Homo-oligomer: A and B are copies of this chain.
Amino acid sequence: MFKKIFIANRGEIALRIIRACKELGIKTCIGYSVEDKDSIPVMLADESICIGPAQSMHSYLNLFSLAQAIHNSGADAVHPGYGFLSENPTFVKICNDLDVVFIGPDEQTIARLADKSKVKQILKNNNIPTIPGSDGAVKNIDELKSVAKSIGYPILLKASWGGGGRGMRVVRNENELINEFNAAQSEAKSSFGREDIYVEKFIEHPRHIEAQVIGDKFGNIVHVGERDCTLQRRHQKVLEESPSPYLDDIKRAEFLETAVKAASILQYWNAGTLEFLFDEDKNFYFIEINTRIQVEHPVSEMVYDVDLIKEQIMVSCGYELSFKQEELKPKCCAIECRINAEDSERFIPSPGKINFLFMPSSSHTRIDSHIYCGYNVSQYYDSMVAKLIVKGKTREEARIRMLNNLSEFKIEGIKTNIPFFQKILNSKEFINNTYDTNFIDRVFLNHPK
């Protein structure tokens, strides 16, 4: 097993990694920015190295500084968490050059799967359902037009190298096509450095459901169930749950089997997530694969009673998976709310110092959070301050418990989206499970769909 893991991340996921390492008896060293000097992860890690100033570009995204810090730390492995450099092939290469294990898939795998349109192509050729669209990036306006015609409007323009919903545009008829395409290209160029755009059939009222997979170096790969991430605000996940209330057991089995098959086709290993869209007839289409641990991983951990971070560390170290597919059974229903430091009406970030804090606790509650009373929520980083995960024997029990837990969650000094979650969890659409990915934008923000 590893002796010391260097944590190239911050906040709750850094804390989560420290906890997993403690259970495995592995020492930790965290690289932190000056802004995070007084953070809980820095307090709880065995060692810490300041890697730069507050701005991520010069600290958490600073390959040069991180490389030296990893070297100085004497760590034999690096956990990138999510975001930042977690899917950056260059960072993986640097780790390799330093003779340090990058906890995640290998450099080639990450590079291979970074090209979303190529991945789609491979799966399509292997009879994994994908959304009808262009074969990879469209070369020119003519190809664009013909593809659009063949699959029919509305269509979606996506950046080949994009992610997180940025650089995505819906086009409803040919008149809008060229302007939107040019806009998408320039946005992609500025956001991701490459202007490649590919085309997809736009699905009305879709559900966003993803499959958690994890595999080892010996070709063993299993799924740890699905997560329903349909509740999004501007393509950003807001609330996740598992199992998905949208699927019956037959459809669920078919879906998860397909996801594992897709992962095998892509020769994927380590922890990963395959994202799919479901249309109103419950046909599902592959969108993309994420080659990292995800924010919402605790939902699956609650439902299947596994520790994905520990498992990720062990398979990266060369161990076989500690469980077989048939040993994994859903034990409950779990819901996660992403508590953000933001105005719950207009969703603008609300950084500042927390001057009162009380968090719920119970046998069925888990909170992944790095905040404390007196902690200053920085404007430099993501506004998520806590992940509140609650389980119940049924979805309804979990929903009620989540509402009770939210009513106990007292935080002063910053605004949070807790009131927003209370509205959602009490909405008939959520209770009756009759919502799609546009639900929040449509109902709560009154945005044109």
Which A residues form the contact surface with B (CB < 8 A)? 19, 22-23, 40, 43-44, 298, 301-302, 305, 356-359, 361-363, 365-369, 372-374, 400-401, 404, 407-408, 410
9 more CB-based (< 8 A) A-B contacts, given A22-B407, A365-B366: A19-B404, A356-B374, A359-B359, A359-B361, A361-B366, A361-B368, A362-B366, A373-B373, A373-B374
Chain B contacts for A373, CB-based, 8 A: 356-357, 372-374
The CA of A366 and the CA of B361, in the complex, are separated in Å by 6
Contact partner of A367 among B298, B302, B357, B361, CB < 8 A?
B361
Contact of A410 among B43, B301, B363 (CB under 8 A): B43
Point out the residue from B40, B44, B361, B400 that lies within 8 Å of A369, measured CB to CB: B361
Is A363 within 8 A of B361, CB to CB? no
Chain B neighbourhood of A408, CB < 8 A: 19, 44
Given known contacts A44-B408, A356-B372, A400 and B23 CB-to-CB distance under 8 angstroms: yes
State the CA gap A374–B410 with chains docked (Å): 13
B19 engages A362 (CB within 8 Å): yes
- Complex: A203 Cα to B23 Cα, angstroms: 39
B363 and A401 within 8 A (CB):
no
Partner of A363, one of B40, B44, B301: B301
Cβ–Cβ < 8 Å partners of A23 in chain B: 400-401, 404
Pull 18 A–B residue pairs with CB atoms less than 8 Å apart, ordered by A.
Answer: A19-B404, A19-B408, A22-B407, A23-B404, A40-B358, A43-B358, A43-B410, A298-B363, A301-B363, A356-B372, A356-B374, A357-B372, A358-B372, A359-B359, A359-B361, A361-B366, A363-B366, A373-B374
Question: Cβ of B363 and Cβ of A22 under 8 Å apart?
Answer: no
In the bound assembly, the distance between CA atoms of A302 and B302 in angstroms comes to: 15
A66 to B423, CA, bound (A): 37
Residues of B within 8 A of A368 (CB): 361
Query: In the assembly, what is the distance between CA of A373 and CA of B413, in Å?
Result: 14
| A44 nearest in chain B by CB position | B408
Contacts of A410 in B (CB 8 A): 43
The answer to whether B301 touches A404, judged by C-beta atoms less than 8 angstroms apart, is no
CA distance A328 to B357 in the complex (A): 37
The answer on a CB contact under 8 Å between B404 and A22 is yes
Nearest to A19 among chain B residues (CB) is: B362
Q: Are A363 and B407 in contact (CB under 8 A)?
A: no
Minimum Cβ distance to chain B for residue A16 (Å): 9
Q: Which of A357, A361, A363 has the most CB of B within 10 A?
A: A363
Which residues of B lie under 8 Å from residue A367 when comparing CB positions?
361
CA distance A442 to B363 in the complex (A): 34
Q: Which residue of B lies closest to A366 (CB)?
A: B363
Chain B residue nearest to A410 in the complex (CB): B43
Nearest chain B CB to A207 CB, angstrom units: 26
List of B residues within 8 angstroms of A372 by Cβ: 356-358, 373
> Smallest Cβ distance from A437 to chain B, in angstroms?
28
For A358, give the chain B residue with the smallest CB separation: B372
A284 to B400, CA, bound (A): 43
A223 to B119, CA, bound (A): 57
CA distance A44 to B357 in the complex (A): 13
Q: Cβ of A361: which chain B residues have Cβ within 8 Å of it?
A: 359, 361, 366-369
Bound together, the chains give a CA A19 to CA B400 distance in angstroms of 12
**Nearest chain-B residue to A15 (Cβ)?**
B408
How long is the Cα–Cα vector from A372 to B374 in the complex, in angstroms?
Answer: 12
What is the distance, in angstroms, from A245's C-beta to the closest C-beta of chain B? 21
Q: Which residues of B lie under 8 Å from residue A365 when comparing CB positions?
A: 366
Cα–Cα distance between A189 and B357 once the two chains are bound (Å): 46
A36 CB, nearest partner CB in chain B, Å? 15
Point out which of A356, A373, A401 has the most chain B C-beta atoms below 10 A from its C-beta.
A373
Q: Name the CB-closest residue of B to A386.
A: B361
The complex places the Cα of A236 from the Cα of B369 at a distance, in Å, of 34
Chain B residues near A366 (CB-CB < 8 A) = 361-363, 365
| Residue on B nearest A306 in the bound complex, by CB | B363
Question: Which one of A19, A358, A400 has the greatest number of beta carbons of chain B within 10 Å?
Answer: A358
Contact A363 B302 (CB under 8 A): yes
Q: Once the chains are docked, how many angstroms separate the CA of A369 from the CA of B404? A: 16
- What residues of B have a CB within 8 angstroms of the CB of A363 in the complex? 298, 301-302, 305, 366
